[in-house]
Chain A
């Protein structure tokens, strides 16, 4: 990265401003958060639009902002396929899970399984799915953060990773989900603003005709016509379909996204938050085409060398070309905020799996207090943060993380999504089915990725451990295997199904009768949010 010789003080100052704002929010949140519901679900006091912004902030990682625009810059149309899949996936979330999760869950996705299945094995299975997804996603983000910040600010990789990890842990330990949500809301606002400004700037530069984006980009690409066609990045058709399947079902199994539905007062707010998120995320991804094709049109073929192998530095380069060092520093600051919001969301969902599912329900068997549960969650967040920092620093900037986000989506789609959907809708589904389903999903996705060409990039670049297996995206095999695992385990088991518990979960998930109440927590005080929150509880007075 020859274009950053030393520490970029402007970028550093903007990072400090971003971090300063989030720390102020965290400080206010830390004075409000008292109960476990406050800690994990922000008291269920977020409004639909607030949670919509938070979902957008939780979902769109640096891989979206820098990665997708970078892929479009490098490979044209294929980069845009990711954008489409990432957005359409929210229809799966909206139609099948958002409201049902809000109505039936409490803090983690395991709550939904444990409600009708045998508690300990069901929670263990769900925790395995959650932690696997978070592990891969988090390490990819941390290494990405280190590489980006090193490149953008000029500080060392290890220091960048440690700083990212430290702030993420501070948000969670001090302010729980309330602070995390607001960090995500602020980030979504910054990200959308940056994208809008850059898009308008790009359009101004090329003369306001959006069609010139494509024409100029094509003219500036060595690939010519092929740049506007599919096939430059995703070489085999079946891999394209497999990727599409993994994207569209994976989002509905991402624990940090599903957990967001516990932060709103009712199902109505849950679905409106998905709509808000779809508008924000969709608008953003449409703009990625202007940014990606615009980068190609403006930077041309020459930009490829400095943009890096995956094009991650295309956006900072474009910003520099448009507005000089200062604008580039602003974009770097936005990228940093983007990473912080995503890793914080990931770690709080993992802390839920460790403290709420494993510690409180399996190890302590509910003999702990709520106070203890929250303390364990904070220790867990600290430990997970330390482990993630450790792996990222030891692995170093050369660690191949390109397959990790894809793998996280594959595990989410193959293990978490089938088990959750069937627990909510299939009367016969039982504990054995959930365990075999999650195991089938996790093992098949991880195994298929391990033997894939992404992990074994051979000298002939055809790679792969086996010559006959060349899928980079395992979804088309692992997702059916996850469902088959659920079905097979259910059918082979002699376990007696607790029909009545299914009826309770079914009626509750569809009507909201008996849904968990909120505490009416907001960033500025307690009380205003209680109206809708108590509507759910007033249906049944607590025993």
Chain B
């Protein structure tokens, strides 16, 4: 893929054979990041999908319920539920951003740092694997 010799910059996203990506993926630092991210993203995704499709299914199958008056004349259950979708989107977005800044970013930086040091240090660097892969990738057609 990265046939860099034929042009000043590689065409697709550049590969980095100097990093041992297999080891990086198995590192506890990376696993920690992925686990913490998943612990937020999966429930959050499940929640917004359920809340959204609950609303859509009600709109489709229970139009009379959605048209019912809510608290005061003119305001309907459907419109109020629609507004909760806006609030949900903003709140979940804000929570994700806050969590990403405080938790995910430092963990990602730590995992990246670890992988970079392992690559540069060479101690835990599986040269055979890396070179093998590198050659396979760089071979011109």
Contact = CB atoms under 8 A, between A and B. Distances in A.
Interface string A84-111: 1101101110111001000011100001
A268 B102 CA distance: 12
Interface residues of B, number: 75
Interface string A338-361: 000000000000000000100011
A495 interface: no
Nearest to B86: A282
Contact of B48 (A88, A212, A238): A88
Contacts of B11: 356, 360-361, 366, 373
A185 interface: no
Contacts of A211: 72-75
Nearest to A243: B56
Interface stretch (A17-25, A142-150, A500-508): A500-508
A504 B15 contact: yes
Contact of A115 (B12, B41, B89): B12
B13 A106 contact: yes
A68 interface: no
Query: Which secondary structure characterizes the binding site on chain B?
Result: helix
B112 to A, nearest CB: 4
Contact of B89 (A87, A226, A228, A516): A87
Interface in B34-89: 34, 37, 41, 44-45, 48-49, 52-53, 55-57, 59-61, 63-64, 66-67, 72-76, 78-79, 82-83, 85-86, 88-89
A157 interface: no
A268 B21 contact: no
A88 B52 contact: yes
Contacts of B25: 503, 506-507
A507 B115 CA distance: 9
A356 B13 CA distance: 12
A96 B85 contact: no
Nearest to A272: B97
Contacts of B141: 365
**How many A residues are at the interface, by size bracket?**
35 or more
Interface in A508-530: 508, 510-514, 516
Nearest to B97: A275
Contacts of A274: 93
Given A370-B8, A504-B19, 8 more contacts: A84-B52, A84-B55, A92-B45, A230-B63, A230-B66, A500-B133, A504-B21, A513-B24
23 contacts: A35-B9, A91-B45, A94-B96, A112-B13, A115-B13, A228-B67, A230-B63, A230-B78, A238-B60, A241-B56, A245-B53, A282-B89, A361-B11, A361-B12, A369-B7, A500-B133, A504-B16, A504-B19, A508-B21, A512-B112, A513-B112, A540-B18, A540-B119
Interface of A: 35-36, 77, 80-81, 83-85, 87-88, 90-92, 94-96, 99, 104-106, 111-112, 114-115, 119, 211-215, 218, 225-226, 228-231, 234, 236-241, 243-245, 248, 267-268, 271-272, 274-275, 278-279, 282, 285-286, 289, 356, 360-361, 365-370, 373, 499-501, 503-504, 506-508, 510-514, 516, 539-540, 542-543
